[in-house]
Structure 1
Amino acid sequence: MVLTTRKHGENDIILEVMTLDRGRHLGLVRGGRSRRHRPMLQPGNELDLTWKARLSDHLGQFQIEPHALRAGDLMTNSVGLTALQHLAFLLRLLPERHPYPKLYSALAVVLDHLESSDAAAALLIRFELELLRDLGVGLDLTSCAANGTQEDLVYVSPKSARAVSRQAGLPYHDKLLPLPSFLLDGQRQKGSELTWHDVTEGFELTGFFLNRHLMERNGEDSGTRDMLVGALEKRFRADFPWNFQ
């Protein structure tokens, strides 16, 4: 899956991709700026890749063949464009050449559902949760940190990253993070509607732990997340205006 490209010399490019077996990987594409190659090397496209290098720690070269070209559709709307930029930023937080099969599969699912406002929002938040797990700061949303119950979980502790029930968290509710029900397996009834309030709570939750991870490592927010949330809100307002009345 193509994440980004950057120019290298007059005719070549350095291609950044997400792969199943080797995770995020970079390589040189000879003639990558040619008319033949440019359409294939757009973010969001899936390619069949062969990587060769003299030594394993070298940049190496990619031989490319098209597999699934979805970039054209993704780049025609602001949600698709900003989602691609944000997902590439998130994946860049992970070490190179280490496999993350769940994230690889999740990436394809997200990109295939960006046309649907509610599905896109829910999947993007779940992608961030999966990324947090792979970064070593995974959230435990299975039971209450205070009393062990699996019922009525509505908060997350910012300290332990564990769920908290309504009863246990009520005295400290202003110090806890909201836990939207769509992130709990089986909690949202079939056919119930995802609201923009649910979405904002979901992004608030994952954003807190992502920002803390960045601060601990002296990293910087790229700004792509705010642009994505803004694009999603605009789409939500158009598709579900009653959510904002």
Structure 2
Amino acid sequence: MEWEAPCIVLSARPHGEADAIATVMTEMHGVHRGLARGGAGRAGAALWQPGNLVQVRWVARLAEQLGNFRAEMVHPAAALAMDDPLALAILSSACSVAEGALAEREPHPRVFDGLLYLLARLPRGAEILADYVRWETQLLTDLGYGLDFSSCAVTAATSGLVFVSPRSGRAVTAEGAGDFAGRLLKLPGFLVGGNIAEIADWRDGLALTGHFLSRDAFGHHHRPLPAARRMLYERVVGLLDERGSGAMRTNDAG
């Protein structure tokens, strides 16, 4: 049994003195594990960093076996993100979410394509956070937990959608929310056709998808949201706090 395909490295854990058990994602084979010989060595560790795009050949005697990986670097996304803490946080979160939420060997080509798109846009910095949130909504949809932003769950209105029900995942207008607005999740405009997004919108988007990932994609398997995903949210909240502190200092100076 064998296949060869472009893969995104999701993780690599030491196995023995020099080898590693690598987990990758492919377009047609889904999340797949294999033994990477030398994957824990100096050269191998650089190749098998989460987020890297690699060309992988998998070989095993039987389909159900772990098998062996051989790989060549295509795009060193991990190294390129190393000097940008936010880009690295996005990369780590995406890899952790994909590995934890997707079943092994089940193809999810749209999720794979979305992850490739994120890798290509990493150098653009914070603005790809909107793309990241959209990717998580696609992942939820692929898993059968799709969110519905087409119309208000209460009034059926198709505009003015600003909230999401944490129970049903359906959008709600301010009018439809009424006195229950404080119990609803905020719906950032970039998820319903708006193009301009601020840090608060990215925070709200991460809170929105994080709620459903935690409850459905991970909660149904009795697993917590990955630490890397929680750290990404905290980093964005930190950016918002820094901007608020900067604005306060400017006002005080005036």
TM-score by length of 1: 0.87
Could you tell which deviates more after superposition, 56-65 or 214-223? 214-223
Aligned match for 1:97, one of 96, 105, 117? 105
Partner of 2:163: 155
Q: What are the ranges of 5 or more consecutive residues in structure 2 without an aligned counterpart?
A: 1-7, 249-254
What secondary structure does 1:37 align onto?
A: helix
Q: Aligned partner of 2:189: which letter?
A: S
Partners of 1:195 and 1:243 within 8 A in 2? no
Q: Distance in 2 between matches of 1:46 and 1:175?
A: 41
Partner of 1:141: 149
Q: Distance in 2 between matches of 1:87 and 1:44?
A: 8
Q: Distance in 2 between matches of 1:223 and 1:38?
A: 21
Partner of 2:3: none
Partner of 1:202: 205
Change (3 A) 1:89 1:34: closer
Could you tell which deviates more after superposition, 114-123 or 61-70? 114-123
Q: Aligned partner of 1:229: which letter?
A: Y
Q: Distance in 1 between matches of 2:247 and 2:135?
A: 25
What secondary structure does 1:112 align onto?
A: helix
Partner of 2:224: 220
Q: Quote the offset at 1:167 in angstroms.
A: 1.9
Q: Distance in 1 between matches of 2:203 and 2:175?
A: 23
- The superposition leaves residues 4-58 of structure 1 with CA deviations (integer Å, 9 ceiling, x where unpaired) of 1111122221111111111111101222234443332222211111111111111
Aligned match for 2:61, one of 54, 57, 63? 54
Partners of 1:28 and 1:60 within 8 A in 2? yes
Could you tell which deviates more after superposition, 45-54 or 171-180? 171-180
Partners of 1:3 and 1:84 within 8 A in 2? no
Q: Distance in 2 between matches of 1:224 and 1:106?
A: 19
Q: Would you say 1:2 and 2:5 are equivalent positions?
A: no
Q: Aligned partner of 2:157: which letter?
A: T
Q: Quote the offset at 1:101 in angstroms.
A: 0.9
Q: Would you say 1:129 and 2:133 are equivalent positions?
A: no
More helix by share: 2
Q: Aligned partner of 1:57: which letter?
A: E
Change (3 A) 1:243 1:109: farther
Q: Quote the offset at 1:244 in angstroms.
A: 5.2
Q: Quote the offset at 1:120 in angstroms.
A: 2.4
Q: Distance in 1 between matches of 2:121 and 2:110?
A: 17
Q: Distance in 1 between matches of 2:241 and 2:128?
A: 14
Partners of 1:117 and 1:235 within 8 A in 2? no
Change (3 A) 1:177 1:234: closer
Partners of 1:20 and 1:104 within 8 A in 2? yes
- Aligned-residue Cα RMSD (Å) equals 2.3
Q: Aligned partner of 1:206: which letter?
A: T
Change (3 A) 1:207 1:243: farther
Partner of 2:5: none
Change (3 A) 1:30 1:128: same
Give the 4+ runs in structure 1 shifted more than 6 A. Answer: 240-243
Change (3 A) 1:212 1:108: same
Aligned match for 1:43, one of 50, 58, 76? 50
- The superposition leaves residues 45-88 of structure 1 with CA deviations (integer Å, 9 ceiling, x where unpaired) of 11111111111111001121221222211122322332232222
Percent sequence identity is 35
Partners of 2:12 and 2:39 within 8 A in 1? no
Change (3 A) 1:122 1:242: farther
